[in-house]
């Protein structure tokens, strides 16, 4: 993150959950659970907040917390980003920017499995 910030490279990175982060979205997790209990459908509630690790980060950064409740229970996820809330609200940032990466990985996997592709690396754009 520090390198990206020093070189004007924007980022959206997944962040491992921990108890401090889960406390930050506790209210949203309860909301998602209540919605799930009413609708019996997966429910997602998002929260935008600033966060700083206790030791490794030099400064606070923008985090998006996704409080999701499924049939099997709560499923919180977090991303850290350099993109501003003016550029992307929490839901859009998570669902359209961060999750798009996983979708691309699925297309690569499909190519490797079903089209018998081998390596998918590229030296140039």
Q: Kindly report the average pLDDT of the chain as a whole number.
A: 90
Residue 101 DSSP SS3: helix
- Would you place residue 59 in the very low, low, confident or very high pLDDT band (cuts 50, 70, 90)? very high
pLDDT of residue 73 exceeding 70, the answer is yes
- Burial-class residue 94 by CB neighbours within 10 Å (0-12, 13-18, 19+): buried
Please state, in angstroms and rounded to a whole number, the distance separating the CA atoms of residues 94 and 98. Answer: 5
Residue 97, pLDDT > 70, answer yes
pTM exceeds 0.85 for this model:
no
- Provide the token pair at 61: 């950064």
Residue 116 has pLDDT above 70, yes or no: no
> Could you count the other beta carbons within 10 Å of the beta carbon of residue 115?
7
Counting residues of the chain whose pLDDT is more than 70, the rounded percentage is: 91
Q: Write down the residue that tokens 């990985």 correspond to.
A: 105
């Amino acid at each position: 993150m520090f390198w990206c910030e020093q070189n004007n490279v924007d980022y959206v990175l997944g962040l491992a959950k921990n108890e401090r982060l889960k406390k930050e979205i506790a209210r949203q997790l309860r909301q998602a659970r209540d919605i799930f209990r009413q609708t019996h459908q997966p429910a997602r509630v998002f929260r935008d907040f600033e966060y700083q690790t206790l030791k490794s980060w030099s400064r606070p950064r923008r985090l998006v917390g996704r409080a999701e409740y499924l049939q099997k229970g709560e499923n919180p996820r977090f991303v850290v980003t350099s993109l501003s809330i003016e550029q992307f609200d929490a839901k859009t940032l998570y669902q359209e920017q961060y999750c798009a990466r996983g979708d691309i990985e699925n297309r690569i996997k499909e190519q490797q499995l079903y089209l018998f592709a081998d390596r998918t690396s590229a030296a140039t754009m």
